[in-house]
Structure 1
Amino acid sequence: MGWQFPRQYRLLTAKDFNRVFQHATKQGDRHLTLLACANSQRYARLGMAISKRQLKRAVDRNRIKRLIRESFRKRQVQLRGLDIVVLVRHGIVKLDNETVFCALDKHWDRVSKKCANLLSS
């Protein structure tokens, strides 16, 4: 896996996002919410919904997006076959990078377990 985040690993269209929102398995806490559903590919795809309403400053939005992309890149193999949308809330800007990474790791684990249980049953 390279250092890039190519188009094939992103949710790009409104149709992709709507499918995840409608068929989602939800996992979250007070800073992050992850919505996930199975896809037909052999790789995971990521979408982020980070609004100006939640994070006012562009520097904060960009920092959180970088952290989410990096954490996703490291866990991509574990999340294979899932489309995931990450939603954030305004309190996340107060957390340091390490705390955000730990929270994301916890959520990736839980989402992959939940979706594995749904797919196997």
Structure 2
Amino acid sequence: MRAAFPREARLLAPPQFRAVFADGEKFVSRGFVLIAARSPSGRSRLGLALAKRRIRRSVDRNRVKRVTRESFRQHQNLSCPVDIVVLARSHTSHMTNAELFDQLAVIWSKIAASKTLRQP
């Protein structure tokens, strides 16, 4: 089985990111800030905005991106289609992959349980 992250599952254009920032609900953990908004596309999509100021080394940024994409891929069948923008906090680069997966799993469940995102 191929584990894919297709183009349709990504936020790509600046207007898509702006729409999430404008209408989104914020979910915070020790390592991440996720902003989620209902998706007009009918499927869940992910956008990554990992600032160099927060995670200095590119290898660390890329590792966090890989973990985030994989976690999203495993949990993308949320209760309703949402667009999600992921922002990393400063100490995210010092966390292990297991810690990142655990924090993201908690946030995915919070997003799935959110009443404001499920309402039409």
TM-score, length-scaled by structure 1: 0.91
- How many percent of aligned residue pairs carry the same amino acid? 37
What SS does the corresponding residue of 1:111 show, helix, strand or coil? helix
Compute the RMSD of aligned alpha carbons. 1.5
Residue of structure 2 equivalent to 1:82? 82
Aligned-pair distance for 1:80?
4.2
Alpha-carbon separation, structure 2, partners of 1:41 and 1:2: 23
Q: How many residue pairs are counted as aligned between the two chains?
A: 119
Matches within 5 A, 1:1-121: 2-78=2-78, 80-114=80-114, 117-118=115-116, 119-120=118-119
Asked whether the equivalents of residues 42 and 81 of structure 1 are also in contact (C-alpha less than 8 Å), the reply is yes
In the superposition, relative to structure 1, how do residues 79 and 7 fare at CA in structure 2: closer, same or farther (>3 Å)? farther
Q: Which runs of 5+ in 1 are unaligned?
A: none
Alpha-carbon separation, structure 2, partners of 1:79 and 1:17: 21
TM-score, length-scaled by structure 2: 0.92
Q: Which runs of 5+ in 2 are unaligned?
A: none
Deviation string, structure 1 residues 42-88 (Cα, Å, up to 9, x no partner): 32000011011111111000000000000000001125410000000
Moved over 6 A (4+): none
